[in-house]
């Protein structure tokens, strides 16, 4: 599918006009039994809330870097979208301006939580809070995100030439990531979205009018069964 978009906000707006009610991200965690489906509209609502959290609550600005240190999970797609929506640069650098992490990587970032905004996701079903208190300075996404508005318009939106990602110091602009032809596919993936391959897949299905089936902790047999039941085309 050809797109006129050149930035993430333009690509998301186009997807909302084209198929607002269709599934955009469907997530399976075979370890917990969770299945979560986000329509394009629901995904955009989560992105708006996460955008407000990053910018209005934690003061991040266009051009700042953010590490989305999350595994294959639907919240990773949300925080990638929120970063791109607000002009942040998603990076794999060890000293970013902000961090979003999960339970398995929390200990790696907690000691420096006072130096940068550090947000933690429990990765429990429905995006709920952690059951136990978090280290000092670490913010619980499951508490803070719910108070954010359902709509967010960046006052300083990203430009096509702004960096969207920086992997190992190599930057990719919004125009390069969102300005080409996308993938009109029902795509099944086990790749963490906050990685070079995962970010490209998410951008591709957004621009192309496709959708993503994201699966964690599945055997090959279960992957095949999920691909069949979800009518994945690739």
What CATH number should be reported for the domain holding residue 100? 3.40.50.12780
pLDDT of res. 109: 98
Q: Please report whether residue 200 resides in a domain.
A: yes
2 in a structural domain: no
Q: What is the DSSP string of 95-148?
A: S-SEEEE-TTTHHHHHTTTTTS-EEE----GGGPPPSSPPPTTEEEHHHHGGGS
What is the average pLDDT value for the chain, to the nearest integer?
A: 95
Residues 4-30, mean pLDDT to the nearest whole number? 95
| Backbone conformation region of residue 74, classed left if phi is above 0, alpha if psi is from -120 to 50, else beta | alpha
Task: Find out whether 212 and 40 touch, Cβ atoms under 8 Å.
Answer: no
In a domain, 42, yes or no: yes
Q: Indicate whether 192 belongs to any domain.
A: yes
Residue 153 confidence (pLDDT) above 80: yes
Is residue 127 within 8 A of residue 141, CB to CB? The reply is yes
Question: In the predicted model, what is the mean pLDDT of residues 183-190?
Answer: 92
Which residue range is the domain that position 35 belongs to?
Answer: 8-152+161-229
Q: Count structural domains, the chain.
A: 1
Q: Residue 12's Cα: distance from chain center in Å?
A: 13
234 in any annotated domain = no
Q: For 77-97, how does the pLDDT look when each residue is reduced to its tens digit (9 = 90+)? A: 999 999 999 999 999 999 999
Q: Is the pLDDT of residue 1 over 60?
A: no
Instruction: For residue 3, tell me if it sits in a domain.
Output: no
1 assigned to some structural domain: no
pTM of the model: 0.96
């Amino acid at each position: 599918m050809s797109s006129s978009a050149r930035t993430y906000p333009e690509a998301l707006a186009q997807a909302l006009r084209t198929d607002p009610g269709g599934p955009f991200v469907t997530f399976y965690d075979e370890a917990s039994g969770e299945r979560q489906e986000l329509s394009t509209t629901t995904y955009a609502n989560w992105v708006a809330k996460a955008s407000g959290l990053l910018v209005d609550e934690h003061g991040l600005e266009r051009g700042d870097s953010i590490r989305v240190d999350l595994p294959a999970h639907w919240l990773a797609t949300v925080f990638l979208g929120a970063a791109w929506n607000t002009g942040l640069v998603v990076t794999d650098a060890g000293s970013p301006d902000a961090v979003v992490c999960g339970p398995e990587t929390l200990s790696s970032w907690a000691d420096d939580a006072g130096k940068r905004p550090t947000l933690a996701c429990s990765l429990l079903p429905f995006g709920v809070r952690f059951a136990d208190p978090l280290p000092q300075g670490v913010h619980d996404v499951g508490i803070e995100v719910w108070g954010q508005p359902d709509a967010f318009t960046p006052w300083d939106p990203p430009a096509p030439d702004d960096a969207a990602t920086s992997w190992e110091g190599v930057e990719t602009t919004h125009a390069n990531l969102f300005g080409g032809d996308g993938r009109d596919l029902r795509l099944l993936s086990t790749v963490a979205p906050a990685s070079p391959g995962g970010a490209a897949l998410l951008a591709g299905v957004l621009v192309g009018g496709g959708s993503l089936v994201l699966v964690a902790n599945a055997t090959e047999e279960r992957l095949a069964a999920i691909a069949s039941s979800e009518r994945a085309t690739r």
